[in-house]
Amino acid sequence: MTGNAQAQTPSPSPKATPTPSPTARDFALHMRRFDAQLTDAQIDSIASQVDQLGGLRDALRPKGHDLTSGDAPTPAFEVGS
């Protein structure tokens, strides 16, 4: 017998897609109000994208708190003469 046996390399395991958060899933389900024909796969896609945008939200809020009305600049009005 000849040694033609090839070394078997394990195939890479598929990356598990993270499960969307319940909040993102609920938000995505509400999209059916606008398009009743959305499939479950499309709903899952919307929910995962909403979760990804959640990371963006956290990046834009470095102090970790929401803005309140008092954080906005006070408008100044002038009347021309």
**What's the pLDDT tens digit per position in 43-66?**
999 888 888 887 776 766 666 777
CA distance 75 to 31: 36
Between 73 and 7, whose confidence is greater? 73
The pLDDT of residue 39 is above 90: yes
State the maximum Cα–Cα separation within the chain, in Å, rounded to a whole number.
Answer: 104
| For residues 31-50, average pLDDT | 91
Confidence at residue 16, expressed as pLDDT on a 0 to 100 scale? 63
The proportion of the chain whose per-residue pLDDT surpasses 70, expressed as a percent, equals 68
